[in-house]
Chains A and B, each alone.
Chain A
Amino acid sequence: MADSTHMDVSYIAHLARIHLTDGETKLFQGQLDQVLTYVEQLGELDVSNVEPTAHAMALVNVLRDDTPRASLDHDAVIANAPAARDGQILVPKILE
């Protein structure tokens, strides 16, 4: 298993794009370290000759016919956007 059962919650929260308050950071730190300590038990098993399971059903290259179909109703989609103008979603500026 990993060499540590302690994660840097502030750094991981940054990677996950979630701003945490100091209180949340402290709370999650304790709770998640406890969870990591618990999952350490997987280290007991020898899995060197075991194939990983990514999906319950092994499926490869599931394809469907590439035919045109109706898309979602434009107005219904735009109505869910946090900001919109002229039938388009308004997004924050990325480049100056």
Chain B
Amino acid sequence: MANLNTKTISELSDLLEQGKCTSVEIVNDVLAAIDARDGKINAYLTLDRASALKQAEAADKARAAGKKGALLGIPLAIKDLLNVKGQPCTCSSKILEGYIAPYDATAIAKLREAGAVFLGRVNMDEFAMGSSTESSAFKKTRNPWNTDHVPGGSSGGSAASVAADEAVAALGSDTGGSIRQPAAFCGCVGLKPTYGMISRYGLTAFASSLDQIGPITKTVKDSAILLEAMAGKDEMDSTSIDLPVPNFAKELTDDHSLKGMKLGLPNEYFVDGMDTEVATAVWNAKKHCQELGAEIVNISLPHSKYAIAVYYIIATAEASANLARFDGIRYGLRKDGADPIELYGKTRAAGFGPEVKRRIILGTYVLSSGYYDAYYLRAQKVRTLIRNDFTAAFKQCDAILAPVTPTPAYKIGEKTNDPLKMYLDDILTTPVNLAGICGLSVPCGFSKAGLPIGLQILGDSFKEANILKIGHAYEQTTDWHRQKPRI
């Protein structure tokens, strides 16, 4: 069977189960695609071919011995901030160049147990700080749909690898949109689960009150499969919630009716400066959901416009504390100095790129004496108002429909000199992290220039089943997700 790399997790698990292909064949096809394309796309930072093939052989043996499961033998690309034992974990930063993870993140350990194959490490914005993957210290990843354009970020390598069929699926992390936005830019499905759904143990922390791990996949069903495998309480992450994990994938049936579903349309999400092609695509998606039986209700999220200001105070404050651990003492880069203070200053100067320095400095400032109340505390209070907006909205509807981004993917270099301009693009994704709720991005069209557009479906906390059902029904009755870029 040819081109196994182009198939989905659920298609491949059927083929594996029926004995029509092996995991080694899948991995070989993926490796061949990487060889053929990654010179153009630059999704991967490191690739461990021998290890990938060994893992695939082990999965095939386990299957022969009677082991089953949707992820047994499925190769995944992993964003370079999730620890996979024995593989590099650099967070696309020079300060962690050469670092080899001494343990598996809990999400990785669960996938390993399920028999997934870890192909290698994919590129990202340095420490997940960015929206275009351009802040990586190592390479510029390109959008498979047009290599002059960014893949989005910070999980840009994850989305590009999936869109280019250089991975069957990938893992990313989402602090302010870092899964949903690159998924939208690259025409993939991206899921940001509810805060507390998946343990973050082994995920390099950026902003701990916002970070979540999630999948980037070719279909909604594949996201459901990965979510199910990673979710659940973990005593290594005190924020993980002890709730039974539903059988998300099984609930996605061939019944694509949305009868009885109320979908909210927030006025505030059709913002000034919104690209008309994006607005039209999302509007058409809304009509499509109506045709599937959903009822549309107008809702209001009045504090949405404050989300960027709140986000860039809270996220940078938390980052300044989390990244204090990169001090040149225990791991990573060290630049010697006359005393420890000089060593820290020189190490961090040489190890961090400009975006990370900027955010640590901003975060240090908003937490500093005399400014804490005015910035950090006030931002936490406005965060409450943003959460309350969603609480009120979900009394009127089961899920919310919105665009993911104000525009399709922009050109490489277009926004790198203007950080504020880049931050403002996160207006439609950051409220979700601030409220802690779940969000899904599914392909809903293309611009005239041929760049993908994403539809965002937001659900209340732990209502992943709702947004997956809506996303699946929309996706299975449209054709957008079946389009492939010409590379």
Contact = CB atoms under 8 A, between A and B. Distances in A.
A52 B383 contact: yes
A69 to B, nearest CB: 10
A73 B348 contact: no
B196 to A, nearest CB: 5
Interface in B360-419: 360-362, 364-365, 368, 370-371, 374-375, 377-385, 387, 419
Nearest to A4: B371
B185 interface: no
A85 interface: no
With a 10 A CB-CB cut-off, give which of A15, A17, A27, A65 has the most chain B CB atoms.
A17
B309 interface: yes
Interface residues of B, number: 75
Interface in B154-207: 195-196
A65 B334 CA distance: 37
Contacts of B387: 53, 56
A17 B209 CA distance: 24
Given A2-B375, A53-B383, A59-B239, A16 B361 contact: yes
Contact of B357 (A2, A18, A59, A83): A18
Contact of A35 (B241, B306, B312, B352): B312
Nearest to B419: A31
Contact of A89 (B239, B329, B361): B329
Interface residues of A, number: 52
A47 B487 CA distance: 51
Interface stretch (B59-67, B99-107, B129-137): B99-107
B9 interface: no
B423 interface: yes
B287 interface: no
A81 B195 contact: no
B384 A56 contact: no
A12 B308 CA distance: 22
Contacts of A59: 238-239
B357 A20 contact: yes
B368 A15 contact: yes
Interface string A44-65: 0101001111111101001011
Given A28-B357, A59-B239, A42 B384 contact: no
Interface of B: 98-100, 102-103, 195-196, 209-210, 235, 238-239, 241, 303, 305-306, 308-310, 312-313, 320, 324, 327-334, 336-337, 339-341, 343-346, 348-349, 352, 354, 357-358, 360-362, 364-365, 368, 370-371, 374-375, 377-385, 387, 419-420, 423, 433-437, 461
Given A28-B357, A32-B361, A65-B235, 12 more contacts: A14-B345, A17-B327, A18-B360, A19-B348, A28-B358, A31-B419, A38-B308, A39-B379, A56-B437, A80-B99, A82-B331, A92-B340
22 contacts: A9-B361, A16-B320, A17-B327, A19-B349, A20-B349, A31-B358, A35-B420, A35-B423, A38-B420, A39-B313, A42-B306, A51-B381, A52-B377, A53-B434, A55-B209, A56-B210, A72-B102, A80-B98, A82-B329, A82-B332, A82-B334, A94-B340
